[in-house]
Amino acid sequence: MTAAGVTRRRRTRMPRGMPLLAALGAAFLVLPLVALVWRAPWGELAARLTDPTTLEALRLSLVSASTATALSVVLGVPLAWVLARAALPGLRVLRALVTVPLVLPPVVGGVALLLLLGRRGLAGQYLDAWFGVQIPFTTLAVVIAEAFVAMPFLVVSVEGALRGVDRRAEDAAATLGAGPWYVARRVTLPAVAPGLAAGTALTFARALGEFGATITFAGSLPGTTQTMPLAIYLAMQNDPAAAIALSLVLLATSATVLVALRERWVPAVRS
């Protein structure tokens, strides 16, 4: 009893009012989700979710978010590598520039993409004139918009992981006969795997939820550019029950990503 008393006294030595504020904070984050689940049209959920329009939006969302994530990994890992390792002047400026999309309102990102890749854009006009390629309002535009907004998450988390790698392990590998690419594949990448996994999950989640840049740069064409978030927004105008059903799907997907993130992250942190 004494021991428990001591423990309890120590646990409650917290600034007065802090637990109350913490409870408010938790409620603020959790209650909207509770409302979503509470008001879900459970009875007609199955019918709603097998609706061809919904399935089309879901398929498009998964395909474009996966592609954007793959693109982010392929380009983001080398970018993180250079940011973490290279000794170049102006590297700090570069780091600041490539992380701008993290804080930029996505709709501004969409406008910026249009100004680069739109039919009259800096690069887009030549794509159109020389190759007859028009990017805006295509599925490719969706992928580009999502990758633009989501890739910084991958870069930031992989760069952090790379900074934590003991370079002497790479030195040891080099003396064992491993060239730079071999060291990167067999030593460095495995060492940053937890960070890479976390970054990939965050990137995928962010790409899946992308709205502002997508609607600006790719529009909302059912079957081509209308991803789940766009479909939800449109459904909310005239069929709230459909919007709720679609939202549940995204919520479930996000929860899955979070679980995957924890399971791959937590054991790695322990070891």
Partner 1 sequence: MSLAARVAVRRETFALDVDLGVPDGGVVAVLGPNGAGKTTLLRALAGLSSVDEGRVEAGGTVWEDTASGRWLPPERRGVGLVFSDHLLFGHLTALQNVAFGPRARGVQREEARRRAQAWLDRLGIGDLAARRPSALSGGQAQRVALARALATEPAVLLLDEPLAALDASTRVEVRRALADVLGERRTVCLLVTHDPVDATLLADRVVVLEAGAVVQDGTPAELARAPRTGWTARLLGLNVYRGVADGTAVALDEGGRLVPAEAPVGAVVVTVAPGAIALHAEQPHGSPRNVWRTHVTTVEQAGSVVRVGLAGPPAALADLTSGAAAELGLAPGVEVWASVKANEVHAEPD
Residues forming the site for partner 1 (CB under 8 A): 166, 168-169, 171-179, 182, 186-187, 190-191, 193, 271
> Which residues lie below 8 Å from residue 109, measured CB to CB, with a gap of 6+?
101, 145, 148, 149, 212, 213, 216, 217
Q: How far is the CB of 183 from partner 1 (least distance, A)?
A: 8
Q: Are 150 and 227 in contact (CB under 8 A)?
A: no
In a 3-state reduction of DSSP, which class is residue 50?
coil
Q: How far is the CB of 198 from partner 1 (least distance, A)?
A: 16
Q: How far is the CB of 170 from partner 1 (least distance, A)?
A: 9
How is residue 97 written in tokens? 């520039």
Complex with partner 1: residue 44 or 171, whichever CB lies closer: 171
> Which residues lie below 8 Å from residue 148, measured CB to CB, with a gap of 6+?
101, 109, 113, 213
Q: How far is the CB of 259 from partner 1 (least distance, A)?
A: 23
Complex with partner 1: residue 6 or 176, whichever CB lies closer: 176
In angstroms, what CA-CA distances link 39 with 44, 51, 205, 242, 255?
12, 20, 24, 12, 18
Nearest in space to 223 (alpha carbons), one of 211, 235, 231: 231
DSSP 8-state assignment for residue 210 = -
Complex with partner 1: residue 56 or 170, whichever CB lies closer: 170
Complex with partner 1: residue 92 or 186, whichever CB lies closer: 186
Complex with partner 1: residue 94 or 191, whichever CB lies closer: 191
Q: How far is the CB of 186 from partner 1 (least distance, A)?
A: 7
Q: How far is the CB of 197 from partner 1 (least distance, A)?
A: 13
Complex with partner 1: residue 2 or 175, whichever CB lies closer: 175
Start-to-end C-alpha separation, the chain: 36
Q: Are 239 and 159 in contact (CB under 8 A)?
A: no
Complex with partner 1: residue 132 or 179, whichever CB lies closer: 179
DSSP 8-state assignment for residue 221 = -
Q: In which element (H, E) is residue 260 found?
A: helix 240-270
Q: How far is the CB of 191 from partner 1 (least distance, A)?
A: 7
Q: Are 179 and 107 in contact (CB under 8 A)?
A: no
